[in-house]
Amino acid sequence: MTQGLFDLRDCDANGRIGHFTVPRSNVVVETPALLPVINPKLQTISPSTLASKFGAQILITNSYIIHQDDHLHAESLEKGLHEFLDFPGAIMTDSGSFQLAEYGNVDVTTSEIIHFQNAIGSDIATPLDIPTPPDAPLETAQLDLETTFERLELSKSLVDGDMLISAPIQGSTHLDLREQAAKHAYALGFDVFPIGAAVPLLTQYRFKDVVDIIMATKRGLGFDAIVHLFGAGHPMMFALAVAAGCDLFDSAAYALYARRGSYLTTQGTKQLVDLDHFPCYCPVCSAYTPSELQNLSKLECESLLAEHNLYVSFGELKRIKVAIKEGNLLELVELRSASHPAMLDGCRALFQYSAQLERQDPSVKGTFFHISDLSPLRPEIVRHHNHLSRINIGTNVLLTTDIVPPFSTSNYSEILYVKPPFGPFPYSLSHTYPLTAEIPFTTDSISLKQAAVGISTLVSLHPETAFTFAHNNWPQTILETLSDDVKFINLSS
């Protein structure tokens, strides 16, 4: 990987705000960033407008489409890609792999398309990889991956200059192959790591599988690797993907959805014909009512609808950056999980990787807010349980859910407070993060289970210590998960 491309500014879970330096265009892109897709034959919104009106710092276009069209081919070589598209920011180019996935064949070689991308002045080129679809047989995915590896290695040898090269990470839904592919590409020194063949999963709302392949890819990459989720353009899932570790997104969704009258929101997709009011205050929605927009010409309506879709997409990325800065990205993910049952699946899947998220998650943030049944599964709880080994205790310990138990405690060598979902801790730490958490007055079963895991962890670390747990009428099913050596006092009796 080219040294110094990525400068980390803030992080939360696997989400990051960073500065991505693109040498060829001398542009610094703030991540997470959206790369609007530009079809060189059909521009719903011009690249110059993307820059001036929406603040786009980077976009992506398809070098294969340009290569195969005689007029576009000649013009892009003559003018260079930036003048050809009239865009001042960084430009990434795809290679034709999407067309390969759609039609089964492309009329170009890896060498030809890499040389062409370099010749027209692409800032970030993409090799002609093999996009293996989800649920492919293992043997097929392995063979495709071997071909992709060969093409990646060839592409790396063809470029000597400041054009960056991306290395699409393939492997279908086989997570071990995704991790293997990521390790291989990172070792070869590529610059950007797009997660390939995710579009079928995204369009089918298989967000759990999307999270799984992102997390597998992240395990195979170094911390400085820039991760790009190919084809992700719906703002509803940006927070989820950023929290999992994606830095870049690209999609033509803003235009494609507009052409069929679809209106994007962070809670899902609505049809323009079904709307009486706009749930948005962007310039488009402030200037028009739904009926007024429908009464415009088809092209005007489509263009304005695409603008709204971009406003809401870029707006969500700004909201995500604020959440990362404030340390509440996972709370935003929890809120977005209510947008669709499939989003809830994705959020649940992400929180199953809390141990992996914890490695990058900051140890100090603002207040932890418990806002859903998913909150007790966050990485802060994993870290607290891991840190229980640091607590020095005596031979006879009282664990209590009441700060001041209603009985004599003089016989105990140590008193630890138990607060769901964290579990036990010395009261002296109660004013430190994350134990300052705001939690509901009614404790849910998942929080109790997580607290019980903390108790069990502490008990297992001190087999010679006698433990008594004074609780407020905890369910018997939770108490039964604790060691038989733990004595119980019900404070509610």
Residues involved in catalysis: 94
Q: Tell me the H-state helices in 462-490.
A: 476-479
Rounded CA gap, 308 and 312, in Å? 6
Under 8 Å between Cβ of 38 and 60: yes
Distance CA 132, CA 150 (A): 15
Tokens of 394: 């005596």
Among candidates 441, 269, 423, 425, which has minimal Cα distance to 339? 269
List of E strands, 390-453: 396-400, 414-419, 423-425
Q: How far is CA 76 from CA 5, 48, 90, 246, 474, in A?
A: 27, 16, 16, 31, 70
Strand 27-31 with 6-12, pairing? unpaired
Tokens of 241: 């993907």
Q: Which of 8, 34, 33, 11 is nearest to 324 (CA)?
A: 11
Amino acid at 295: N
List, in sequence order, the alpha helices (H) in 327-406.
329-336, 341-351, 354-357, 379-387
Q: Give yes or no for a contact between 188 and 152, defined as CB atoms under 8 angstroms apart.
A: yes
C-alpha 69/C-alpha 73 separation (Å) is 6
C-alpha R_g of the chain: 26
Phi, psi of 400 (to 5 degrees): -140, 145
CB-CB contact of 87 with 51 (8 Å): yes
